[in-house]
Amino acid sequence: MIGTRWKGRSLSSERTAQTARRSRSPQLLPFAVSGRRFTRLSLAAERSDKLARAADQRPTAPRIAPRPPASAQTGSRSAREERATFERQLGEERSARQTAELQRGQAQTALHGEQRLRAQLEQDLAQAHRRLQGAEKARDAAIKSLEQAAVRGRRDKRG
């Protein structure tokens, strides 16, 4: 029965865990969790202890930084001036980019307007062309009917 397994755990470790849970004894408390879980917990505890020891051995940095010497102050002043120059240049570049984007947007809008106008003009031209063809057909029909009427008129006078 010791070698028998029940739901992934050996029966002996399960009985030990059950006994520890029932008795609430401090000596059996580590056995209150199942075998795999106990192994995981013990490895996590060892890892935590190791990390804590490593943290204790590291030297700590002073909380207050020492005041920089005068040469560092002039360096920081030049760094501030350099940063201000870079920020000004960045502002100018952003402004130029925004202006370019605005001009591009205006050009794009103008292009769309011209394209719509061209499409409308093409439609108007096609419609005028259709009207012209209709007028030409009507004219041709009128001429033909006048010619037929003239031919009939001659026949009527002769006959």
Question: Which residues lie below 8 Å from residue 41, measured CB to CB, with a gap of 6+?
Answer: 33
CB 68 within 8 A of CB 76: yes
How far is residue 47's CA from residue 40's CA, in Å, rounded to a whole number?
11
Q: Which residue has the higher pLDDT, 97 or 157?
A: 97
- Report the C-alpha gap between 17 and 45 in whole angstroms: 19
Q: pTM of this prediction?
A: 0.38
Q: 1: pLDDT confidence band, cut at 50, 70 and 90? A: very low
**Tell me, what's the pLDDT at 156?**
75
pLDDT at 154: 79
Q: Identify the helix (H) or strand (E) that includes residue 63.
A: none
- Checking if the pLDDT of 130 tops 70, the result is yes
Query: What are the tens digits of pLDDT across the range 140-159?
Result: 999 999 999 888 887 777 75
The percentage of residues in the chain with a pLDDT greater than 70, rounded to a whole number, is: 64
Q: What percent of the chain has pLDDT over 90?
A: 43
Tell whether the torsion through CA atoms of 140, 141, 144 and 150 is positive or negative.
Answer: negative
**Please, are residues 72 and 80 in contact by the beta-carbon 8 Å criterion?**
no
Structure-model confidence comparison of residues 95 and 62, the more confident one: 95
Residue 126 pLDDT? 97
Q: Tokens at residue 41, please?
A: 């917990």
In tens, the pLDDT along 25-83 reads 555 555 555 566 667 777 778 887 887 777 777 766 555 655 655 566 677 888 999 99
**CB-based contacts of 21: which residues, under 8 Å, 6+ apart?**
32
Question: For the chain, what is the mean pLDDT?
Answer: 78
pLDDT at 40: 72
pLDDT (0 to 100) of residue 72: 61
Given a cut of 80, whether residue 134 has pLDDT beyond it is yes
Q: Is 9 left (phi over 0), alpha (psi -120 to 50) or beta?
A: beta
